[in-house]
Amino acid sequence: VYLLFQGLRQISQRTISTASRRQFENRVHEKQKLFQEDNGIPVHLKGGLMDALLYRVTMGLTVFGTAYVVYKLLVVSMPKKQN
């Protein structure tokens, strides 16, 4: 119990630093050049392979979901046979 209390006291006495330990390079200018370049690629695909993959997965899920909803609407709209 004493060790737990000692550990909590040490944690509470530490100073919290908001400064980052690593300095990151500002790449906003590079990204602006990439996204503003007029090369015929839609802006949602200019990020590279991951953007294209995410786009295709999203479109696939959208098409599948739409087809599933239409199927379920057709099933629900058909009356069941009475025995």
Interval 66-81: pLDDT, tens: 999 999 999 999 988 8
Q: Which tokens is 67 given?
A: 């087809």
**Number of C-beta neighbours around residue 75 at 10 A:** 8
pTM summary value: 0.58
The residue extents of the domains of the chain are 43-82
Considering the chain, what is the average pLDDT of its residues? 85
Query: What average pLDDT does the segment 35-64 reach?
Result: 93
The pLDDT-based confidence of 29 (bands split at 50, 70, 90) is very high
Distance CA 72, CA 65 (A): 10
List of residues 6+ apart from 29 with CB closer than 8 A: none
Whether the per-residue pLDDT at 23 is higher than 90: the answer is no
> Which is nearest to 51 in space by CA: 61, 40, 59?
59
Whether the per-residue pLDDT at 21 is higher than 70: the answer is no
